[in-house]
Structure 1
Amino acid sequence: MPSQPDEAPPPHEVAPDPAAVIAAFGLGGHVEEMTPVSGAWSNRVYKLSTGGAGYAVKQIRNPWGDPRWQERLDAAWTFEQRARAAGVAMPEPIPNPVDGGCLAWVDVLGGGSRVPVRVHAWVEGKPMRPGPVDRGVASWIGGTLATLHQLDVAVEDRTLFPVANTDNADRWPELVAAAERAGASWAADLRALESHTRVVAELARASALRADDEVMSHGDIDQKNIVMSADGPVLCDWDVAVPLVPRTELGDVAMSMAVWHELDVAREVIRAYRDGGGADTEIRPEDFGPTLTSSLDWLVLNVERTLGLRAVTEAEADLGTRLVPRLIAEMPAQVGAAVRVRDTLSV
């Protein structure tokens, strides 16, 4: 059940003690093996074999420094269980037997500290490749998204979740100036993005006007979170479930499945969503405001890493160096696709 890593794990990270995981979640059996399988911005995943059963053990991080991250995770866990009850294909989540929550704090190997982990049943399969998905997967994704939105799960405490803002777009000249002072090879390309960042900010402000329409949803449906099992696609990584406007998530997911250029794939996602009972499928440019803001924020984070504008590990700096040219190159096409969406994604 590995997902494709998108972030280097911290150096010298110590793994959870597998025996402590078995005890904390009442898994039974004994430790045969626990091996790392993937890493991401907010977690590190291991495969735990216990003699007849396999589990995905996810060590949760808090890279945002959010003091309320456990409350946010609890809200995501509640939604995850609702989605599973509705028949959405996902790895079986294992609650801890003490309070029925998703999280338990366990010792690390060698002792000395405790880390938060959660556990799912292991799903044998292959991670989705990063390119455009086939029509069958696109159809499954559209129907799945319709199911999630029709649950109509209200947001009980909106303050738990982040709100998109235009801060990075607004300070773009400052960032460009820093890149030029540093002599970055891509500084001129960064400057050329300024008009695109203004469009992103405009779309984000227009999108914010529909915040009252939000419902809880998965929030991160893309190729890295889909595993192809023998029984078909399985949707993983529910920890960042968030409130979203359904039409906004639909547009984001459709273009993610299409990698922003195979528009027949995007239209298939929307068609299947509509056939599955999803409403409001007329995607508009402002629906990409949150998506493009998130992409812009990710670009800025990596620019700052590369320029030494924030404290980073060597692995994070190296990742930023690799990512920045690609992220700069992708932005114009994505903004252009968002602006033209009324013509290209009508079904």
Structure 2
Amino acid sequence: MISNRAFAIAVCVFLGIVWSYKMLVPARERLSDESVRLLEMNHCLAYSDTVLRIRFLDYQTYFDTLIDRKSMPILHFAGFGMGSGDRYSTNEKPSPCTFYQRSLHKASSPLDIAANAYVQAYDKMRPEARAIEQLYARRSPEVPQALQFHQAIEKAMEELQARAIPFNQALESPMLTLRASQLEQIEERLGRDQHWYTLNFMLMARQGIDQLTELAGNKRLTPDQVQALHHSLLAAWNDAEGYFKSLPRLTSAEGGKPVWSGIREPAKAWIDTLATLQQHWTAQAEPIQLSSDFEVMGQGYDRMWMRYNLAVQNQY
């Protein structure tokens, strides 16, 4: 089963590709219908795993405060932001998960089946979310009703997250193909600029962690493989660092600091954890030490991606 970290990364990695592609590829070059559909699916997953998850944590704080104090919390709950189920709604913002669904039949692809199941869970959760939003809009929400709604929304969220796993797994392969194609188009138009160096490194990092996770899970990972990955990522990091150091006054499209400036340090720290893992493994360290090294490596990867997504969201 895909880990929570891998799922979050799978949906967030494409956010950076999206902003670069939209800015750099001329509008006259339209995406194919299938590419548009993939982008909409990915947007749905990314929204659910970022905005919706943050809103759910906000709600949890609101609920806990209400139960503990037995009174109205002094907080403002902005709602879940799940949007309307109507793609063309004029009364409220459409849901990010209203992309076109093909009719399911025996020949339907695993992606269509998984996407359909996910959207059904999303739509099923929306009435529960709205009931909570209406309850907490009152001056004094009733605690028994809050408890009842809480059980329902927790169950709905668990189902949504469970269905996100096969959806992401089915979407990952076609999205990787699309990412590679788009990155090539960016290079063709602007060469190896700041977008290329940053995105190239992040995609290499993604491919590297996928390889590590797969080989470790199959018990086929070797110190030489870890060393090779370390060398390739360090080379990519040095290339990017050299580019940005040669242009110290370079800014992002919005006039702020380049995205790379926010991830260079956590990226280098993560690469260093690969070197530590390889060195301990070659020295035949105890399994508990190698397990700790692998966990630290995973945590470093998470920190790097958090910084990357934060920089992308803030600037684009």
Do they superpose with TM above 0.5?
A: no
Q: Which has the greater radius of gyration?
A: 2
Normalising by the residue count of structure 1, what TM-score does the alignment of the two structures yield? 0.29
Greater share of helix:
2
Normalising by the residue count of structure 2, what TM-score does the alignment of the two structures yield? 0.31
